[in-house]
Amino acid sequence: MPIPVFEQEAVPEAKKEEDKKEISKPLTVKFSGFALLFTILTMVALIIMNEFAFRDANEIFNPHYDGCHLGKAVHASEVCPLGQYEQVRLILHADIAVPLILVSTLIYMLIRGKKLSSTKKVVSYGYFGFSLFLLGRIITETEYYFFVHHELYGKYLVIFTFVVLFTILVIQIQKKFSKKRIE
């Protein structure tokens, strides 16, 4: 029975260690200041466009808009069923926000691409920021609605959201701290 022979690499062990360190270093891509400025302006323009879409959809499709949009004095009267108005507003905002979040995330993923040195990468951050803004806004509006109109569920929803948010923050902070200690 033949004895198996294993080939040995000619690269010294020290050289392998250096290669591993070079591979593990994160590659960075530099962006110009103007590119970042215009990316931020793109994100702000998307947010403003979204606010107009929310307002116009609420004005057109909310049947309680006429009695409830003028101010707090009208809210106190019998003209405005505030709970129904806010419920329809929340549904309309979610109907607009969910597709926009999906489209913005898709645009982010398509623009970002596979190459790390892609020049389009900086643009993708504006769309990703817009998606995060929309997601945060819809979550906040939903929690506000439940907190005001369904107090029992609302306080648990708000506390649960804080627990999830702080858990994610702790995990991310610990990851950053661990990476710094290794380097």
| pLDDT tens per residue across span 148-178 | 888 888 889 888 988 998 898 899 888 887 8
Residue 89 near residue 60, CB atoms below 8 Å:
no
Measured between alpha carbons, how far is 27 from 17 in angstroms, rounded to an integer? 18
| Tens digit of each residue's pLDDT (9 = 90 or more) over 106-138 | 888 888 766 655 567 788 888 889 999 999 999
User: Contact at 8 Å (CB) between 89 and 62?
Assistant: yes
In 10 A of CB 67, how many CB atoms? 16
* pLDDT of amino acid 6: 43
Q: pLDDT per residue over 9-53, tens digit each?
A: 555 555 555 555 555 555 566 778 888 899 999 999 999 999 999
Supply the pLDDT for residue 8: 46
Residue 178, pLDDT score: 81
Q: Using one digit for the tens of pLDDT, what is the confidence trace for 64-78?
A: 888 786 655 444 556
User: Would you state the pLDDT for residue 22?
Assistant: 53
pLDDT at res. 45: 96
Query: Which sequence spans correspond to the domains of the chain?
Result: 31-149, 152-183
pLDDT over threshold 70, residue 54:
yes
Is-contact 135 101, C-beta < 8 A?
A: yes
Q: Is 85 exposed, middle or buried (0-12, 13-18, 19+ CB in 10 A)?
A: buried
DSSP string computed for 7-48: ---SS-HHHHHHHHHHHHSPP-----HHHHHHHHHHHHHHHH
Helices 33-61 and 82-112 meet at what angle, rounded to 10?
150
Band (pLDDT 50/70/90 cuts) for residue 105 is confident
